[in-house]
Amino acid sequence: MPPTHRPPRDSRTPDAAPDVPAGPHPRATASRPVPWGGLHVPAGASLPPGTSYATLHAAFQAQPMPADRKPAADRAHARMTVGREEIGRDATGTEAAGRSGGQDDDVPAVIHHAVAAWRLRNARRFSVRVLSAATVAVTAVALSAPTASAAPSPTWPKGVDIASWQHPGSAPIDWNAVKASGVSFAIVKATEGTEYTNPYFAADRDAARLAGLTVGAYHYARPAAPISTAVDQARHFLAVTGLTRSAGHLAPVLDLETTGGLDPVALAAWTRAFLEEIETQTGRAPIIYTYRSFWTDHMADTDDFALYPFWFAIYNNEDTPGWLPGGWSNWAIWQYSSSGDVPGIIGNVDMNAACCSPASLAALADGTQSELDKRYASGGLMRIALGAPTNTELAAGGGGRWRPFTNGLLFWSVRSGARALHGEVARKYLALGGSDSFLKRPLSDVEWAAAPGAHQAMFEGGWIYWSLATGAHEVHGQILRHYLDLGGSVSSLGLPVTDEYSVPGGRESAFQFGRLRWMAATNSVVLLPATVGATDAAPAAGAAAAGAAGAAGTALAP
């Protein structure tokens, strides 16, 4: 049986969180009453009275293998420990399936069905106490034979992740030897919380890069209230690592393994704040490191972060990491072992594989281009519509990056993706305050609306519509929802001719052929006929929009 934790990596730091073994994934619990790692049976233990090994063997052999078993990769959930590298302790922080040595994950399912059949045939003969003892015996017999374990594909780039623990007695790491052993990348612990910095970080990262390895840096998270501590930790991390905007550098990594006492909602908010500060400052999508039971138990298996690159820790003795939590459809890096033996590094080291080729690793580590750079480099009509850049990339309010062009802007965040806004829609957006406004971040490019000749763009907080006849106007909140339910730009209302404005008792938006009014007292939206003022306001609204666009044009300049 492997230990529940390893000695501390960072011996200079005093505190450590406890290691908490986690149970199996809930999808597998109902069909696996026998513990997956087996039960401990003292040496020399005898079978219950009235049973024999022959009886149990016959029951075991008579039971066929169930036809509806999940693939082995879906069943590789077992013991795991928390705290891969906390201050004062460096535990695995990952899942280890089966027993030490990698027992066959199919065995427990066979045991379960065999025991069930045996109990059914002998229910009148034995008491529950005797049956439980027999279960122990069957488990002990079935798990006594060792089986071979699988490993990641040899074509996947291999890597290590290290901290000060890999420098016992301040011994150096021979990074040339590490490279010569076939290792392609190294991820080095940089910081923890807001105070700790790994004293070996800078030298290790530089030496590993000089030896020809792709390099990365991770921050061990110390979540805490208030949520603003996430931004403090992110800034401490970047102050040590820099912006990683060069070739051969992986994006910054958030190592998330402790809750700091936060519930799943607060912990998700803390995580979001950290990640968005990183992406806002670097223009890169940060990587999340965690393990399955932490995400399912302490993050409520949220899929809100599934767009971030995923570094998945699971020690399952399989050739793939199996099913992923949190809505992730794929993984970028897989930490598959904590007991690697690598020339040049003293003691055991965590082993990783990158998915799933050297070319993929190189793309993941290309810090020379931001996500905005990549979108603009894709060319096509988008570049013609935007024109030439008028400034460098800038941090955007609400999280993300943006860059102005002569006739528009590019915006990027992990949640929104890279979006291109141009023309009057872009000017309207900037006139309202951009991502700092109620519209927040764009969720689409400027695109054709359903109404002939009209454009639209979607944002987190509303939409902007434009046509030559009406100008550019925003619609948001419950008025927008009601408008879309009616059919949007091809509804009987037509296109908006004003932004939303205040009226007694609520808010209102005017359209070409009617109005929508939100009533605060009832929290409902009512459809009103167009008034002469509202109908005649369309040309005036268009002129006002043009004036606002002209004023906003200065925002598109350097």
Give catalytic residues, as residue numbers.
161, 255, 257
Q: 41 φ, ψ to 5°? A: -120, 115
Surface-to-core class of residue 38, CB atoms within 10 Å of its CB (0-12 exposed, 13-18 middle, 19+ buried): buried
**CA quadruple 62, 67, 73, 79: dihedral positive or negative?**
negative
CA 442, CA 222: separation in Å to the nearest integer? 31
Q: 445: Cβ–Cβ under 8 A, 6 or more apart, which residues?
A: 382, 419, 420, 421, 457
> What are 516's two structure tokens?
């929508």
Which H helix or E strand runs over 454? Answer: none
Q: Residue 387 corresponds to which tokens in the numbers above?
A: 């024109």
Residues 6+ apart with CB under 8 A from 297: 22
At 39, phi and psi to the nearest 5? -105, 145
Backbone angles phi, psi at 389, to 5 degrees: -65, 145
- CA end-to-end span of the chain: 64
- CB-facing half-sphere around the CA of 402: CA atoms within 13 A: 27
CA distance 476 to 461: 6
CB within 8 A of 331, min separation 6: which ones?
Answer: 310, 311, 312, 321, 324, 355
- The per-residue b/e assignment along 41-80, b for 16 or more CB within 10 angstroms, e otherwise, is eeeeeebbeebeeeebeebbeebeeeeeeeebbebbbbbb
